[in-house]
Amino acid sequence: MKVYEALKWASSFLAEAERDHNAGELLLRHHLNMSRSEMLASLRMDLPDGVWEPFKTDVHRHADGVPVQHMIGSEEFYGRSFTVNKEVLIPRPETEELVEGILLKAKSLFKGYETIAAADIGTGSGAIAISLALENPAFRVRAVDIAPESLEVASMNAESLGAEVEFLHGDLLAPVMESGTKMDVVVSNPPYIPDAEVLELSPVVRDHEPHRALAGGADGLDFYRRLAADIPRVISTRALIAFEVGAGQGEDVKALLLEQLPNAQAEVRYDINGKDRMVFAVVEGAPHD
């Protein structure tokens, strides 16, 4: 069998199973140990011995709901490969837009700063924290998670990617408040799916990603309420707050922030697909002025 024939079969099979047909390409690249350009240059090559059966097995596993990222053990995020497993949320492309927004805003807001103290709350795989630390050397990032298993994955990613991030175990902002350190940037991509909707998610997500990273209470806003209530206690006089939100939650989350930070400049930002997926707030002056 040729490489292109294996890809064609996988694409057709996964489309019929109502899965992402592009997953076949990721799986075949993994089994061939090739980059995308290498594989595309080898489409008419015969599949090497020992590749077809494990590839076919993995395509069937994905059709049954197992995430591709769990089979290959990683996901690309902001140009880097992050180890992922069942203990962390698989990083999404829209979260890259959150990181990009933070980096752009930090350039002007913290111009002249030698160091920018940042906290990533609910870090999971560490994708946000590690990307910020590597993209802007001025960032001094602390990353918090309630699950030791998630922190283990995030620490592994930081080490393999050469990022200096301090990992803290605890519930949301509690470890930051206990340290007494003031933050210039607070970022979070917390659980935001209403509890009742978690059961309606695709099996790829529902059955394989940690529920603690998905369920956000009856209306999906529980974690934003808790974060907004505590943020005034941890931010510097000039600060940037950045949240990823579920589509349709932007204005509600913005209102929660403005309730606690009435002098902040808050905005809802839309992602590349036209969905309200980010809320940014800039505070200049004491949080309770």
* Whether residue 48 sits in one domain with residue 105: no
Question: Angle at which helices 23-32 and 3-16 pack, to 10 degrees?
Answer: 140
- Is the domain of 188 the same as that of 154? yes
The 3 state secondary structure assigned to 192-224 is CECHHHHCCCCHHHHCCCCHHHCECCCCCCHHH
Which range of residues forms the domain containing residue 37? 3-64
Do 225 and 95 share a structural domain? yes
Q: Are residues 101 and 218 in the same domain?
A: yes
The response to whether 191 counts as a known ligand-binding position is yes
Please check whether residues 44 and 179 belong to one and the same domain: no
pTM above 0.75, yes or no: yes
Query: pLDDT tens across 134-164, in order?
Result: 999 999 999 999 999 999 999 999 999 999 9
- Known binder of ligand: residue 162? no
The verdict on residue 70 lying in a domain is no
185 falls within a domain:
yes
How many domains are there within the chain?
2
Same domain, 144 and 272: yes
Does residue 77 form part of some domain?
A: no
Residue 130 in domain: yes
Residue 213 in domain: yes
Residue 50 is assigned to a ligand binding site: no
| Residue 190 is assigned to a ligand binding site | yes
Q: Are residues 59 and 91 in the same domain?
A: no
85 is in an annotated binding site: no
Residues 99, 55 share a domain? no
User: Is 198 inside any structural domain?
Assistant: yes
Residues 139 and 11 in one domain: no
Q: Is 54 a known ligand-binding residue? A: no
The answer to whether residue 74 sits within a structural domain is no
Residue pLDDT, tens place only, 46-56:
999 999 999 99
Give me the residues paired with residue 283 across strands.
239
| 47 & 102 share domain | no
Q: Is 192 annotated as a binding residue?
A: yes
How many alpha carbons lie under 13 Å from residue 169 in its C-beta half-sphere? 8
DSSP the chain: -BHHHHHHHHHHHHHHTTS-TTHHHHHHHHHHT--HHHHHTTTTSBPPTTTHHHHHHHHHHHHTT--HHHHHTEEEETTEEEE--TTSPPP-HHHHHHHHHHHHHHHHHTTT-S-EEEEEES-TTSHHHHHHHHH-TTEEEEEEES-HHHHHHHHHHHHHHT--EEEEESSTTHHHHHHTPPEEEEEE----B-HHHHTTS-HHHHTTS-GGGTB--SSS-HHHHHHHHHGGGTEEEEEEEEEE--TT-HHHHHHHHHHH-TT-EEEEEE-TTS-EEEEEEEEES-TT-
Task: Report the chain's mean pLDDT, rounded to a whole number.
Answer: 93
- Residue 122 annotated in ligand binding: yes
Q: Is 126 marked as a binding-site residue?
A: yes
Domain harbouring 154, CATH code? 3.40.50.150
Give a yes or no: residue 220 inside a domain: yes
Tens digit of pLDDT at every position of the chain (289 positions): 999 999 999 999 999 999 988 899 999 999 999 999 999 999 999 999 999 999 999 999 999 999 999 999 999 999 999 999 999 999 999 999 999 999 999 999 999 999 999 999 999 999 999 999 999 999 999 999 999 999 999 999 999 999 999 999 999 999 999 999 999 999 999 988 888 888 787 777 777 767 777 777 888 899 999 999 999 999 999 999 999 999 999 999 999 999 999 999 999 999 999 999 999 999 997 554 3
